[in-house]
């Protein structure tokens, strides 16, 4: 691992490790997440979507470049803010939108909703409404990878707030003593609900907790696709080589509220926090990619248009899909 | 703001009634502290100094940090086991903590302080500890919150010796029972149906307590007893209303305390009516509803004119899709169809 | 060592029967892994290389690490939430983990993986996950282990949709049910009464399964049905023996699976006998015993000659002092006294 | 705090901070624990005591010099291995022995037993059968101390094994962000049951985990009364002065098995571990105390004799005490 892993300042890009094909897919998926989320937000405001909806918008540069480096048989665990992880891991937008609409054609037949979208066949082990609930699951998936010697690895996404749950402690300790192929990715967006991370966590950074588990820890600018790609890429490499787990803290920020309806009075209106909030990872990446010749402006235009079309199509699909049948209430409790 | 006269009942929402009970009790008893996630919110944010960002994820504790400060309205990290256990430790040393478990579905993150520690402490210590502790939490489906945020688990807590469990149904019962809990030297779990928060009702401004362990006969009747828990009161009343058309007189009892539940009131009722339906939104197995049915079927065996019916959620997690969720929650229609024989007999008897 | 012939039943202890089931299943299915505290013991101690120090705190998993190695018999740190959650994650990705929760009293440290995650996963995912997971744990008073190590909490787990719960009573049922659980694509909690470990019984050497969800009629009878859970079988048999002297013929049913419990067998029995006593060592409220009583009182209402009695532990934690602990556990004497009316009537009827 | 707080090697005594009166009381209580434990062991072997019994013998130099620096209104939380903490905090031997015998005169009326001996009036919040169960309780007691401004502090005893429970993580984080008056004392005896700490914990020491909670951490030779007294004394001082929590790891060793009946095959038969095991804190402290004039050999003889007599008396008291009444089965569930 580079020294960035233990450095206190976000790493900066030193070159481009991202192949052009990957860069295009990354850009497409970042757009898919943003467009999908904006659409969900719009339909939630119209009252078409019920329940709790936690949007990932603004954090695309975390999940997407990480999942780009995973195969379908690698697993990820997710959070209540899971739409982004789903898209990044390759879940179908149609099935996702239908799920959020509670339709029979949803990825979970409409029985899970926003907080539980899953597609195990894609290695997406489910959005998870329990904060900290995904960490032990990731340890288990990684244990399976170790025992069955499949070469698969597991990426565990969790928030800065989740890092104060006991499951964080137990899971990192277990993964370390068993040297499991897992990468713990903390999405530090500065808040757990309305509570700042700097109040809730005794340690200034989450990354520095890695040393308590004898594993490498690093911080990275979570708005930079390249930084995330590179640093987490090294951790993924470590995991694949059987060198054990790592903890990477990605500094990011929610574009919207904790959930839809949140007035966000706790967000800074000026200063460093506001400046960081205003950095948008999507145009930043486009600019970088075009400048470094990963794709052209024309490619970008095409990708953007196609993404909008996909999301429109997903919405149509969801809206036209049937509700689940009454019988399905009783199904799927046991195999 | 509204009526200020002592003894005057104003119309308050369920959540405001809870808020008022907390504030009134905290003014008189400095040992009462609140602990939980975002009870105030925004702790440490400069432009919010002294003000909460949220006042609870559902706004129930709004304004309390402004009045009582951050030492008594304590925002916690997301560490349910830690702060619930801290509440037990503080209670054992003389405080009266009121931890909030945002959703009772998170019980899996903080059961030991209740099951392993708090509920057993006084017993294990031979009576040499008191646990004045009021756990506030929420239950219930109907908010499209899906399987991990919609469960009804008061029955799981009611199964534990050493814990009392209260389930209010209206703003009036919420305030009176919460004030009673805040005077109890024991662990009381106060479980609020999240879909009731905006419901309104008359609530006296001054402090009053409702006895924990006492059910309320909301409506007297002669032919059938319906026992309800929490929000199911309104389902029970709807059923009673529908049966009235057939000349059936229904006694509706709001259980209010699910542990220890009020055997006396229920027995008196069944001795009069001979028939009982219990409506409990929890999953069916090992539920409070079944507990009551088992005990009343035993102790009132000779008075029973029909088997006791328990209407509950199905034996499944809570589904997300709104149409399924609606089928999940016991409804008047479900009660009428699950108790169809009993009701048919009653109707026939009335007609005869 | 003992008999080697296929189909031959040897006398084995309850703990050895469990050990044998684990070993046999692990030989055939490499996805089965065991996780828990000191299942082997002494991990990392040079002079114990490849050998376990303990083989489980009560010796149940002795010898397994020697045969299957440390990758499949995994000693965990004291991190119940971590390894129980890991078991769920491993199950969802194709393993069949067998986590051991040393005492079911520690449920407060690892409930979320069961309540919040595992039991709901398949449902929330619309049927797109399978959870082959067998949780072994222990329950029961009688070992002077006091309030935090003697509880009986299978009822709490049986209340959760999506979890099956099995309580074996003998070495024979333990082996057959555990082998069945190890073939199930669902979460099965296998709860062992710790005071039964040294009890002996006949056990075939080869693999066999007993159907999960099926009760066993241990002794047929015509006048009274006694339903027992786990160790309570022996209390039930003792009661039956005593009643025999008065000419009362008792059907004794060993429930074996407490969720889903075998309604069919119980209904058939009560239709024959008209009287039922259920013996469940758990605390009374919201117990499996009361669940059964409520349901059977309803569905077999017309067959009941007497109220169904549930004999259970009192509504208290488990006391340490041996004399109190003895009073805590349901005994034949307690059954006879709590069901005195029912038995008096039966005796009178026999004499008449 | 001294640099020992962050040093990786056990601190050594640099002088004597212990007043002579304290030294005598410490020596008496260490003897009380040892004699009490040996008596319990003997009576357990004879079958007079049922249940699980976890002996503290060998670890006396941890609890005693710490509790010597506490008042009756300071609180401690304890573990399944709680006899030593009880004696150190001033619980009566008669009531303790009667409790272990399950008699009506026991500190808990015979209803708690070895694993639950408590005396809240002495600030002893109970032995605790749940590993890691005491940590959050200590946070709560300390919160009470802070809120009521009583000046009391809380000491939380827990084992190396408990440090892998989520409650460790959550409790240290809470205590730190709230700057509570609590001292976390890890009794690292090398094992959790039969599992070595070096296998179960990813971090080589427990003390180094303190930095994850932004609090001072130190290791100390838990067989040295003086080292424990001094280092924990500084942490107690910190707590009393409102400077927040500390974590002290005391290296110690069980004289006997995890519980009575344990064959202890996992213990080393030679080498460093064996050498450390063989160091007995009681004669070591006597030697030190006599040499430094804290008390005389004659004082020591008297203390030893009196201790033996106290334990004999406690046993008589227990054996002659009545069983709890049948009614008491139903009492003390609620206040
Ligand atoms: C066990 C549990 N506790 C509390 C909650 C309520 N809750 C939902 S999201 C959230 C904040 C999570 O913060 P963080 O982990 O930082 O993730 P973010 O929302 O910032 O992405 C909380 C407290 C929950 N869902 N589960
Ligand atoms: C929550 C919980 N998990 C497991 C156990 C079983 N158990 C009792 S003592 C013990 C070992 C504790 O080790 P440590 O914390 O180092 O304390 P020590 O016994 O060494 O003093 C274990 C695993 C328990 N009592 N509680
Ligand atoms: Mg966050
Ligand atoms: Mg230890």
CB contact under 8 A, C124 and A126: yes
Domain shared by C234 and C172, yes or no: no
- D162 lies in a domain? yes
Task: Ligand 1: list residues with CB < 6 Å.
Answer: A 79-81, 129-132, 159-162, 187, 189, 191-193, 258; B 37, 78, 80, 102, 106, 109
Structural contact between residues B235 and B228, judged by C-beta atoms closer than 8 angstroms: yes
Residue A8: pLDDT band by 50, 70, 90 thresholds?
Answer: very low
Closest approach atom of ligand 1 to CA A258: 19
H runs (alpha helix) in A220-332: 225-240, 271-278, 281-291, 297-320
Question: Are residues B112 and B164 part of one domain?
Answer: yes
Is B68 domain-assigned?
yes
pLDDT at C291 exceeding the cut of 60:
yes
Question: CATH number for the domain including B286?
Answer: 3.40.50.920
Give the distance (Å) from ligand 3 centre to CA of residue A250. Answer: 11
Locate the ligand 1 atom nearest the alpha carbon of residue A81 and give its number. 21
Q: Do C86 and A167 touch (CB under 8 A)?
A: no
Alpha-carbon gap, residue B53 to B47, rounded angstroms: 10
Given a cut of 80, whether residue B167 has pLDDT beyond it is yes
What is the pLDDT, as a whole number, of residue D9?
A: 35
The phi, psi pair for B218, rounded to 5°, reads -80, -30
| A positions 92-111 inside 8 Å of C (CB) | 106-111
By most ligand atoms within 8 Å of CB, the mutation choice from D131, D259, D262, D267 for ligand 2 is D131
| pLDDT tens figures, D47-82 | 999 999 999 999 999 999 999 999 999 999 999 999
Q: Are residues B19 and B140 in the same domain?
A: yes
Could you give the CA distance from residue C294 to residue C154 in angstroms, rounded to a whole number?
18
User: Which of C106, C145, C322 comes nearest D102 by C-beta?
Assistant: C322
- Is residue A255 within 8 A of residue A57, CB to CB? The reply is yes
Percent of the residues in chain B that have a pLDDT greater than 70, as a whole number:
98
- Least Cα distance to A145 among A184, A174, A181, A183 occurs for A181
- Which atom from ligand 1 is nearest to the alpha carbon of B57? 6
Do B184 and B228 have their domain in common? no
Residue D327 lies in a domain: no
Cα dihedral value C154, C159, C161, C165, nearest 10: 20
Pair (B274, B341) in one structural domain: yes
Which of A201, A265, A266 is nearest residue B77 as measured by Cβ atoms? Answer: A201
A167 touches C at CB < 8 Å: yes
B205-237 burial: b if 16+ Cβ within 10 Å, else e: bebebbebbebbebbebebbbbbbbbbbbbbbb
Is residue C47 among the annotated active site residues?
no
Tokens, residue A87: 């898209």
| CATH at D128 | 3.40.50.970
Its sign, for the CA torsion A56, A60, A66, A70, is: positive
State the pLDDT at residue D15.
Answer: 56
Last residue of one domain, picked from the residues B204, B232, B254: B204
Contact B92, B86 (CB under 8 A): no
**What are the residues whose beta carbons fall under 8 Å from the beta carbon of A108, sequence distance 6 or more?**
A99, A116, A117, A118, B320, C124, C125, C126, C128
Residues 6+ apart with CB under 8 A from B148: A115, A116, A128, A129, A130, B103, B105, C116, C120, C124
Q: Where are the alpha helices (DSSP H) in A201-224?
A: none
Catalytic residues of B: 149
- The token duo for D298 is 């004659």
Q: What per-residue confidence (pLDDT) applies to A16?
A: 78
Whether B107 and B180 share a structural domain: yes
What is the C-alpha to C-alpha distance for residues A94 and A318, in angstroms, rounded to an integer? Answer: 7
The band of D6, judged by pLDDT with boundaries at 50, 70 and 90, is very low
Retrieve residue D320's tokens: 């002659």
Looking at the fold, whether B254 and B346 belong to one and the same domain comes out as yes
The shortest C-alpha distance from A296 to chain C (Å) reads 39
Asked whether residue C192 falls in the same domain as residue C129, the answer is yes
CATH number, residue B96: 3.40.50.970
In the 8-state DSSP scheme, what is residue B195?
G
Task: Count contacts between A and C (CB, < 8 Å).
Answer: 147
Q: Which helix (H) or strand (E) holds C188?
A: strand C187-193
Sheet holding B164-166, edge to edge: B73-75, B32-36, B96-101, B133-139, B187-193, B164-166, B257-259
Q: State whether C117 and C41 are in the same domain.
A: yes
Could you tell me the pTM of the whole model? 0.97
Calpha distance A123→A132 (Å, rounded): 19
- The confidence score (pLDDT) of residue A15 equals 56
pLDDT tens per residue, range D107-159: 999 999 999 999 999 999 999 999 999 999 999 999 999 999 999 999 999 99
Atom of ligand 1 nearest to the CA of B37: 23
Ion ligand 3: residues, CB within 5 A, are A 159-161, 189, 192
Q: A134-148 and A166-177 helices cross at what angle (nearest 10)?
A: 10
Q: Is residue A114 scored above 90 in pLDDT?
A: yes
- Against chain A, the chains showing at least 3 CB pairs within 8 Å are B, C, D
Query: What total of structural domains would you count in chain A?
Result: 1
Q: What is the mean pLDDT of residues B315-329?
A: 98
| Residue C209 forms part of a structural domain | no
Report percent pLDDT > 90 for chain A.
95
- Do C32 and C150 share a domain, yes or no? yes
Whether omega before D116 lies within 30 degrees of 0, making that bond cis, reads no
Closest alpha carbon to B27 in B71, B75, B70, B64: B64
Whole-number percent of chain D with pLDDT over 90: 95
Kindly state whether residue D326 falls inside one of the protein's structural domains. no
Helix (H) or strand (E) holding A40: helix A20-45
Closest residue in chain C to residue D133, using alpha carbons only: C109
Mean model confidence pLDDT for chain B: 96
Q: If you measure from the C-alpha of residue D151 to the centroid of ligand 4, how many angstroms do you get, rounded to a whole number?
A: 31
Point out the domain boundary residue: B204, B231, B262: B204
Element (H, E) at D143: helix D134-148
A335 within a domain of the structure (yes/no): no
Q: Is residue B99 part of a domain?
A: yes
Q: Which of A102, A115, A198 sits opposite B148 (nearest CB)?
A: A115
Instruction: Identify the residue whose tokens are 């200590």.
Output: D138
The domain boundary, picked from B149, B169, B204, lies at: B204
What are the beta bridge partners of residue B98? B34
- Write out pLDDT tens, residues A23-51: 999 999 999 999 999 999 999 999 999 99
For D306, list phi and psi in degrees, rounded to 5.
Answer: -60, -35
Asked if residue C4 is part of any domain, the answer here is: no
What is the extent of the structural domain holding C275? 216-351
Does the residue C3 lie in any domain? Answer: no
Q: Please give the backbone phi and psi of residue B114, each rounded to the nearest 5 degrees, phi first.
A: -90, -55
User: How many residues are there in chain C?
Assistant: 352
Whole-number Å distance, alpha carbon D158 to ligand 4 midpoint, is: 8
Q: CA separation (Å) from C130 to A185, B151, C94, D29?
A: 26, 22, 8, 57
Report how far apart, in Å, the C-alpha atoms of A68 and of each of A232, C272, D239 are. Answer: 11, 66, 49
Asked if residue D14 has pLDDT above 50, the reply is no
Closest ligand by atom to A163 CA? 1
Query: What pLDDT was estimated at residue C297?
Result: 98
Which range marks the domain in which residue A121 is found?
A: 4-319
CA dihedral over D283, D286, D288, D291, signed as positive or negative: negative
Task: Give the per-residue pLDDT at D249.
Answer: 98
CB hemisphere CA count around C217 (13 angstroms): 16
Number of structural domains in chain B: 2
Angstrom distances, CA of residue C15 to CA of C178, C184, C217, D259:
12, 21, 23, 20
Does ipTM come in above 0.85? yes
The string of pLDDT tens digits covering residues A14-27 is: 357 899 999 999 99
Q: Determine the average pLDDT of the residues in C261-270.
A: 98
Measure C36 CA to ligand 4 centroid, in angstroms: 17
């Amino acid at each position: 691992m580079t020294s960035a892993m233990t450095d206190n300042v976000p790493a900066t890009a030193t070159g481009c490790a991202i192949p052009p094909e990957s860069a295009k897919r990354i850009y497409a998926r970042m757009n898919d997440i943003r467009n999908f989320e904006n659409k969900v937000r719009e339909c939630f405001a119209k009252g078409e979507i019920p329940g709790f909806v936690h949007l990932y918008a603004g954090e695309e540069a975390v999940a997407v470049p990480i999942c780009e480096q995973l195969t379908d048989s690698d697993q990820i665990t997710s959070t209540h803010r899971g739409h982004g992880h789903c898209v990044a891991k390759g879940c179908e937008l149609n099935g996702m939108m239908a799920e959020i609409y509670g339709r029979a054609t949803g990825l979970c037949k409409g029985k899970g909703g926003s907080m539980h979208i899953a597609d195990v066949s894609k290695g997406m082990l489910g959005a998870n409404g329990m904060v900290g609930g995904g960490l032990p699951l990731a340890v288990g998936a990684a244990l399976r990878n170790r025992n069955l010697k499949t070469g698969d690895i597991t990426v565990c996404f969790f928030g800065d707030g989740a890092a104060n749950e006991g499951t964080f402690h137990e899971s990192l300790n277990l993964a370390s003593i068993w040297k499991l192929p897992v990468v713990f990715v903390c999405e530090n967006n500065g808040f757990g609900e309305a509570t700042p991370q700097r109040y809730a966590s005794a340690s200034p950074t989450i990354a520095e907790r890695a040393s308590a588990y004898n594993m490498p820890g690093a911080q990275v600018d979570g708005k930079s696709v390249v930084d995330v790609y590179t640093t987490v890429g090294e951790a993924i490499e470590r995991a694949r080589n059987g060198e054990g787990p790592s903890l990477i803290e990605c500094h990011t920020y929610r574009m919207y509220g904790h959930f839809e309806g949140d007035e966000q009075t706790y967000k800074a209106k000026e200063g460093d926090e506001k400046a960081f909030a205003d950095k948008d990872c999507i145009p930043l990446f486009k600019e970088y990619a075009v400048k470094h010749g990963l794709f052209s402006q024309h490619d970008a235009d095409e990708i953007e248009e196609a993404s909008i079309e996909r999301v429109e199509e997903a919405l149509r699909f969801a809206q036209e899909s049937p509700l689940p049948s009454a019988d399905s209430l009783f199904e799927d409790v046991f195999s | 703001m509204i009526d200020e006269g002592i003894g005057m009942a104003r119309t308050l929402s369920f959540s405001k009634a809870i808020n008022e009970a907390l504030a009134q009790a905290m003014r008189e008893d400095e040992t009462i502290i609140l602990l939980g996630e975002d009870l105030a919110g925004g702790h440490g944010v400069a432009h919010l100094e002294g003000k909460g960002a949220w006042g609870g994820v559902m706004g129930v504790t709004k304004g309390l940090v402004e009045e009582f400060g951050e030492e008594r309205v304590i925002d916690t990290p997301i560490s349910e086991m830690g702060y619930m256990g801290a509440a037990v430790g503080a209670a054992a040393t003389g405080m009266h903590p009121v931890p909030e478990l945002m959703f009772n579905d998170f019980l899996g993150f903080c059961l030991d302080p209740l099951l392993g520690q708090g509920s057993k402490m006084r017993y294990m210590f031979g009576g040499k500890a008191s646990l004045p502790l009021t756990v506030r939490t929420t239950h219930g489906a109907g908010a499209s919150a899906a399987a991990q945020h919609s469960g009804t688990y008061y029955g799981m807590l009611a199964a534990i010796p050493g814990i009392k469990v209260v389930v209010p149904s209206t703003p009036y019962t919420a305030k009176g029972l919460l004030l009673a809990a805040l005077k109890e030297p024991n662990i009381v779990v106060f479980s609020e149906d999240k879909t009731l928060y905006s419901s309104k009702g008359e609530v006296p401004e001054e402090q009053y307590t409702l006895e924990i362990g006492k059910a309320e006969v909301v409506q007297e009747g002669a032919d059938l007893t319906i026992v309800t828990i929490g929000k199911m009161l309104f389902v029970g009343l709807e059923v009673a209303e529908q049966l009235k058309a057939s000349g059936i007189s229904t006694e509706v009892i709001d259980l209010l305390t699910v542990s220890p539940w009020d055997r006396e009131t229920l027995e008196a009722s069944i001795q009069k009516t001979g028939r009982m339906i219990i409506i409990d939104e929890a999953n069916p197995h090992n539920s409070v509803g079944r507990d009551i049915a088992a005990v009343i079927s035993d102790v009132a065996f000779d008075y029973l004119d029909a088997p006791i019916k328990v209407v509950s959620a199905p034996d499944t997690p809570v589904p997300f899709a709104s149409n399924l969720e609606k089928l999940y929650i016991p409804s008047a229609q479900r009660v009428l169809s699950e108790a169809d024989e009993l009701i048919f007999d009653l109707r026939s008897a009335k007609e005869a």
